[in-house]
Copies of this chain bind each other. A is one copy, B any other.
Amino acid sequence: MPHLDSPLTRKLGAYVALSGKELAALEVFHQRRRSFEPGVDLVRQGQLGQLAYILADGWVCSYKLLPNGTRQIVDFQVPGDFLGLRSVLFRTSDHNAEAMTRVEVSEVSPNDLIEAFANTPRLATAVLWAVSRDEAMVVEHLVDIGRRNALERTALFLLELGARLKLVGLGTKQGYACPLSQYMLADALGLSAVHINRVLRQLREEGLLTFRSGQVIFDDFEGLVELADFDTAYLDQDGPLLR
């Protein structure tokens, strides 16, 4: 059973204590492995009959394109995250998802999902929890964009990304590997690339953080937390609610 401790299993297990049967059902999700090259779309806005994916390795970003030519990145997916679940539930996709790096995924068909939910009901509850956690992150992101200036916004965003990565063992208090370009960061934060550049410079010059060549380095973690009013509570979890 090679995937008993996949990132997904670990994540769902945090909410619902999974039985052997449920773990076996999760196995089904890991049947069809695929990989995608950087820049390829896994999910496309407006398209019918989409598949869902579980990200095993690499980074993906979910975004929307606007008629005025701009785009807004809504979220990033890191290993253990679902991708395109809404596209399956709604039959048609309301967003795009693009591989930012080379990406390894397990492909999940609508049928796999429906079967799994029917045969192992607690999985549906576990996935409900995972989706709610995603929603909480999107909400946090929305508040960040709506009510913080560029400096706080950027600092908070990079801190939160770090917290998420630490949960799956991909980051520390010192920093993390981050394949975002300044353009992507701008599209995620609702700012222009030029302005992001200036903000990053300011953060660097104030000795708070360095964003360079694919690395985020927290030069002054405490200072950043203070600047950004950072609070990780919503990412924490006290152990399974369903036993």
Contacts and interface: CB of A to CB of B under 8 A. Distances in A.
A89 interface: yes
A91 interface: yes
Chain A at the B interface: mostly helix, strand, loop or mixed?
A: helix
Given A90-B237, A110-B241, 9 more contacts: A66-B148, A68-B229, A72-B143, A72-B146, A74-B143, A121-B121, A127-B128, A145-B145, A146-B189
**In the complex, the 6 A-B pairs of residues with the closest C-beta atoms, listed nearest first:** A146-B190, A121-B121, A124-B124, A72-B143, A72-B146, A142-B142
Interface string A132-159: 1111101111110111100000000000
Contacts of A145: 142, 145-146, 190
Contacts of A133: 90
Nearest to A152: B68
A65 B125 CA distance: 29
Interface in A184-243: 189-190, 229, 233-234, 237-238, 241-242
A117 interface: yes
Interface residues of A, number: 54
A131 interface: yes
Contact of A136 (B91, B94, B238): B94
Contact of A117 (B124, B132, B134, B140): B124
How many monomers of this protein are in the complex? 2
Contact of A142 (B68, B74, B148): B74
A147 to B, nearest CB: 5
A86 B146 contact: no
A233 B138 CA distance: 20
